[in-house]
Amino acid sequence: MNESAIGEQLAAILADLIRIPSPYPPGDSVAISAYAADRLRAAGCRTAILAEAPGVDNVVATIGTGGPHLVFNAHSDTVAVGDRSLWTSDPYEPVLRNGRMHGLGAGNCKGSMAVQLWLAEEIARRGGPRQGTVTFTFVADEENLGPHGMAFLRRAGHVRPDILILGAQTENQMIVAERGVLWARLVAGGRAAHAGNPAAGDSAILRLLRLAGMLQSELAPRLAARTDGAMQSTMNIGLISGGSNANVVPARAELTIDRRLLPAEKVDAAFAELQQILAMVGEPDGSWTLERLTGTNGFRAGADGPGVSALAEAIAARTGRPAALLNATGVSDGRYFADDGIEIVNFGPGSGADGHAADESVPLAEAAEAAAILVDAVRRIVGLHN
């Protein structure tokens, strides 16, 4: 099948997906999961809709048996519309313009979802894999960084991949290494008093500033020296709050830290490092606490593994150029499998610059190219009957 015909089929699937709202909030994926499951069952895949939280449905569809186990993933939820006035068309009405399909989630991540739905149907049409198992997962709770999507499927044992290929906006190149992420909340306590007599109180905000200052002076230089190629170890204070009124010495203040870790760094060690640096300030015992909110380690797939090799060969065969390895700014659902010793690759059509933006779009020709590349990669990993 030529890419023009593939593009027409993908356009129809993607248009259907865009018309099914699945924004977070609220993160309801019931309707879009039902659509995907219906298509996958009709193709002959063993298909289930799985959920551990109301409204947060996830689809798992499998064809073949035994190993190796190749798993594909794309998330079905999107961000919210945001400022509607910035959109030149209805976010939930697909518009094809200059070869690009526009609509909410067209790039992140319904474009990849359409490609993977088409791929599942194509593998089934060709009689399934010659050896091993191919599973497709379409999950929610990704935009929320929540536990009820891919994290749930792994935790409950519903998917155990040897190779995991996640849909992402990589312009049909690969991301094989990803930083870990740690979120932590720092809470400073104090003693309330009237602002007319601040010496009678103990300002939680001032304590929080001293603690934050130590992070900046002590941790920031350490992180600046930690690099891995284009990847950088980083820290960001993204949220801060405290106090109740201008005329009250604040009794509580807090901030939230986002730490991005190189693949060689570990979440437990990063959290301990934060605690050690904060203790250097010398604030009284019990006057502050550091709470770990969430954290997953980073990963790096080997360049010579069967999944990475097959996908790289398929990209080169289709494009005539060696596959490029891109640097990931954010994190994917692959992070839940970071410690499982498997190959994890992000791949898909579209540019990250187009995701989460008004008039979001994906090039249909690139989506069709992605579909052709993935068919070839599947053939190289597990074989196809025709």
How many angstroms separate the Cα of 258 from the Cα of each of 136, 186, 191, 216, 263?
Answer: 31, 11, 28, 13, 16
Q: How many CB atoms are closer than 10 A to CB 234?
A: 15
pLDDT exceeds cutoff 90 at 207: yes
The answer to whether the CB of 371 falls within 8 A of the CB of 348 is no
Quickly list DSSP for 54-72.
TT--EEEEEEEESSSEEEE
Share of the chain above pLDDT 70, in %: 100
Q: What is the pLDDT of residues 302-344, one digit of tens each?
A: 889 999 999 999 999 999 999 999 998 888 999 999 999 999 9
Per-residue tokens: 295: 């954290």
**CA dist., res. 266 & res. 24, Å (int):** 29
- According to DSSP, the residues that pair with 231 across neighbouring strands are 228
Quickly list DSSP for 148-189.
SSHHHHHHTTS---SEEEEE--BTT-BB-EE-EEEEEEEEEE
Closest CA to 107 of 382, 348, 312: 348
**CA dist., res. 107 & res. 113, Å (int):** 10
For 79, the 3-state DSSP assignment is strand
Task: Report pLDDT for 1.
Answer: 65
The answer to whether the CB of 48 falls within 8 A of the CB of 137 is no
Quickly list DSSP for 335-368.
GGGTTTT-EEEEE-SSBGGGTTSTT-EEEHHHHH
Task: Report pLDDT for 22.
Answer: 98
The whole-model pTM stands at 0.92
What values do phi and psi take at 274, rounded to 5?
Answer: -60, -45
Angle between helices 111-125 and 364-382 (to 10 degrees): 40
- According to DSSP, the residues that pair with 255 across neighbouring strands are 186, 240
CATH of domain 180-296: 3.30.70.360
Q: 3-178+298-382: what CATH class?
A: alpha beta
**CA dist., res. 242 & res. 236, Å (int):** 18
Task: Report pLDDT for 355.
Answer: 83
The answer to whether the CB of 154 falls within 8 A of the CB of 95 is no
Average pLDDT over residues 181-197: 97
Q: What angle do CA 131, 135, 137 make, to 5 degrees?
A: 170
Average pLDDT over residues 91-114: 97
Assign 354 a pLDDT band (cuts: 50, 70, 90): confident
Per-residue tokens: 278: 């904060």
Q: What is the pLDDT of residues 262-312, one digit of tens each?
A: 999 999 999 999 999 999 999 999 999 999 999 999 999 988 999 999 999
Average pLDDT over residues 198-205: 97
The answer to whether the CB of 87 falls within 8 A of the CB of 34 is no
Q: What is the pLDDT of residues 41-58, one digit of tens each?
A: 999 999 999 999 999 999
pLDDT exceeds cutoff 70 at 31: yes
Please report where in the chains the tokens 């015992």 appear, as a residue.
285
Q: What is the pLDDT of residues 136-177, one digit of tens each?
A: 999 999 999 899 999 999 999 999 999 999 999 999 999 999
In the chain, CATH 3.30.70.360 covers 180-296
Q: What is the pLDDT of residues 104-147, one digit of tens each?
A: 999 999 999 999 999 999 999 999 999 999 999 999 999 998 99
What values do phi and psi take at 163, rounded to 5?
Answer: -135, 130
Assign 3 a pLDDT band (cuts: 50, 70, 90): confident
In the chain, CATH 3.40.630.10 covers 3-178+298-382
Assign 369 a pLDDT band (cuts: 50, 70, 90): very high
**CA dist., res. 109 & res. 22, Å (int):** 11
| Burial 64-80, CB ≥16 within 10 A → b, else e | beeebbbbbbbbbbbbe
Q: What is the pLDDT of residues 220-233, one digit of tens each?
A: 999 999 999 999 99
**CA dist., res. 130 & res. 128, Å (int):** 7
Closest CA to 18 of 101, 88, 100: 101
Task: Report pLDDT for 308.
Answer: 97
Task: Report pLDDT for 303.
Answer: 84
Task: Report pLDDT for 145.
Answer: 87
Closest CA to 366 of 353, 384, 347: 347
Low-confidence winner among 25-34, 133-142, 338-347, 352-361 (lowest mean pLDDT): 352-361
Low-confidence winner among 3-7, 81-85, 147-151, 263-267 (lowest mean pLDDT): 3-7
